[in-house]
Amino acid sequence: MYKLLLPLWLAAWPACALAEVEPSVPLTLPAALTLADRSHPELAAARHDLLAEDGMVRQAGLLPNPSLTMERVDTRRDTRETTIQLSQPLELGGKRAARVQAAQRGREGVAAALVQRRAEVRAETAAAWFAVLAAQEQLRLARQASELALRAATATGRRVVAGKVSPVEETRARVAASTVKLELIKAHGTLVTARAKLASLWGNPSPRFEQVSGEIGVLPELPSLAAQRALLAQAPAVQVARAELEHRQALAKVELSRRMPDVALNIGSKRSEELGRSQAVFGLSVPLPLFDRNQGAVLATARQVDKARDGLTAASARLEAELVTAREEYAAARAQALALQDEILPGAQSAYDAASTGFEYGKFGFLDVLDAQRTLLQAQSHYLTTLADAHRAQAAISRILGAEHE
């Protein structure tokens, strides 16, 4: 799959990747993913690596250069002999083909690494985008809680003036309002930090967008485990491990081909001033593989092939375990979010409304209102945290399976 997608990514990628400046309008998830795709610094570096591998492939296919030698015997003009000779090495044993294949396999490994890093960047971007969305919701809840606390403090003040409650109740209400205000300040700081982290993924240190636009509560059911396990064979990390194995196998073939000695073809002319004539000179130069038959390099590359094969097996096992873990985390977070949404949040809201109404009519004390408010805020905060955990697990699944399986 990455062999088909890489030309499209590279064609859309500018020759010099600069930091993107996003528009000031609310940022959607697809827009954030596009910005990170185009301008993430590590992706830009990985693309340069891929372009560099093109040079390695080209270099591997070049023929060895010939050499020109001149030899002169005697310095006296009448008796000297001058030999000019051209020597061309001839690679035998399929060295050039093996070298080209190894370079191509190396390029495929870098291409697979680029696909893997892209999947990781997209997962990081999705998680960061949902973190901003959750921080926005936390800030909205904090503002709502601040308004409720201020309203309760005002109502308590009126009741104190009317002589219905003790002034201690008003003090408690003011303290509660101040505490909620601190939570508001904290929520605002969390949002600023989340926005900066998201914008840093496309290299912008000063984000222009004020908010993101999306639904944090949408948590679809995952495909079956069997269906996602079937995709693991094409997962980016598996592709990288497989490309590494193929590269090591190609390098082993290069070392095997070097066991065959190369031949140098020599052709030239020898001029004898004493005889007054020139003679053609032909020859072959063949090294004798008596001691060095490249046996050490052959053994080393064979063991590297074994290591890469074990690495592929380990990557497959690790990804399967990570997939199962991420699925379980998503399922647990989704179940908690649904329970909070359907059961706990409505109950907490109802209890707070009842306590507030009862307090206004003098049926409940302020502590009852404060306790109900605290319970409601905790439930709402827990709901947002659970949603963020679910989206983080979903991003992990996308990272494991690849960007095209989001």
Q: What is the pLDDT of residue 12?
A: 45
For residues 153 and 373, which has the higher predicted lDDT (pLDDT)? Answer: 373
Average pLDDT over residues 283-294: 90
Q: How many residues does the chain have?
A: 406
When pLDDT is cut at 50, 70 and 90, the band that residue 170 belongs to is low
Cα dihedral sign, 171-177-182-183: positive
For residue range 52-110, list pLDDT tens digits in order. Answer: 999 999 999 999 999 999 998 887 888 889 999 999 999 999 999 999 999 999 999 99
Is 318 among the domain residues? yes
Judge whether 22 lies within some domain.
Answer: no
Question: Given a cut of 60, is residue 11 above it in pLDDT?
Answer: no
For residue 145, the model assigns a pLDDT of: 78
Q: Which residue has the higher pLDDT, 157 or 106?
A: 106
Residue 276 resides in a domain: yes
Range of the domain at 140: 2-8+28-287+300-405
Instruction: Tell me if 250 is assigned to some domain.
Output: yes
Q: Which pLDDT score is estimated for 2? A: 47
User: Could you tell me the pLDDT band of residue 4, with boundaries at 50, 70 and 90?
Assistant: very low
State residue 53's pLDDT score. Answer: 94
Tell me, yes or no, whether 383 lies in a domain.
yes
What would the mean pLDDT of 196-218 be, rounded to a whole number? 90
CATH number of the domain encompassing residue 215: 1.20.1600.10
- Whether the pLDDT of residue 195 is over 90: the answer is yes
Provide the percentage of residues in the chain whose pLDDT is more than 70: 86
Percent of the chain with pLDDT over 90: 57
Note the pLDDT of residue 320. 95
If one compares 374 and 330, the residue with the highest pLDDT of the two is 330
Q: What is the mean pLDDT of residues 311-319?
A: 95
Does a structural domain hold residue 17?
no
The mean pLDDT of 19-38, rounded to a whole number, is 86
264 CB-near residues (< 8 Å, 6+ apart):
87, 88, 89, 90, 284, 285, 286
pLDDT at 357 over 50: yes
pLDDT the model gives residue 68: 94
pLDDT at 361 > cutoff 90: no
Looking at residue 228, its pLDDT comes to 92
Range with lowest mean pLDDT among 89-103, 142-156, 317-331? 142-156
Least confident of 77-86, 167-176, 229-238, 373-382: 167-176
pLDDT of 18 > 60? The answer is: no
Alpha carbon 74 to chain centroid, angstroms:
69
Q: Considering the domain boundaries, does residue 294 fall inside one?
A: no
- For residue 63, what are its two tokens? 């023929």
Average confidence (pLDDT) over 45-57: 93
pTM for this model (two decimals): 0.81
State pLDDT tens for residues 338-351.
999 998 989 988 88
Mean pLDDT of the chain: 86
In a domain, 94, yes or no: yes
Other CB atoms within 10 Å distance of the CB of residue 197? 15
The half-sphere exposure of 241 on its side-chain side, counting CA atoms within 13 A, is 21
Domain count, the chain: 1
